[in-house]
Structure 1
Amino acid sequence: METDTKFSFCREVRTPSSEIYSIFSNDNDEIQARLDIHIESRNIVSGLLSIFSERNDEEVTALIKEIDDSIVNMADIDKGNFYIEVYTVIDRRGFGKDRKMEN
């Protein structure tokens, strides 16, 4: 995730007050991160960004800016009302039904 890397966001889940996105970079077909966002009362957006490899602060800041510009702004929320926590995930596993098998 270099700072000149562009990202694409694939919405996986949408409810009236939250969304989940898989995040891809333009130079890699694998999922680079996952974003869970929640629109709370008073038009506050909170998010949890799980990044699947080590990134420096500059790279993380660039990704957060793109999330803010591409996703949060579409929700018509004031920029000052966006809070996000960032986690670097070392071990990622899924349990239960394989989502790829669903139609």
Structure 2
Amino acid sequence: MPGPTPLRGDALTVLVSGTRCTVTGEVSLRGVLRGGRGYAELTLPSGLDPQQRRSLEQAARKEGALMHWLYRDGSLIDECTGLTARGTHRTDDGALVLSGSP
């Protein structure tokens, strides 16, 4: 589980409830604590393709498996294959945030 300091990358492959997307642009990953439970939050670029955003939002509502591979400068910096999607929300600038927990 990631810590509260964001881990930043420039590319992400994410698989949510069987929906796979590859995203480029600034992506961050951080751990948050809500209601005594730990969550991993992936913040995707605010300029994400609208169709990708809708697909990911719909997939996250199914609360299936959430897997991600985060890259910086072509190198894998984080991967997680053991999360369950717990929903989405938006940041103030409209960026999509995917939430998952073990």
Q: Same fold (TM over 0.5)?
A: no
Instruction: Give me the TM-score of the superposition, normalised by structure 1.
Output: 0.35
Higher strand content, 1 or 2 = 2
Higher helix content, 1 or 2 = 1
Q: Larger relative CO (CA 8 A, sep 6+): 1 or 2?
A: 2
Rg larger in 1 or in 2?
1
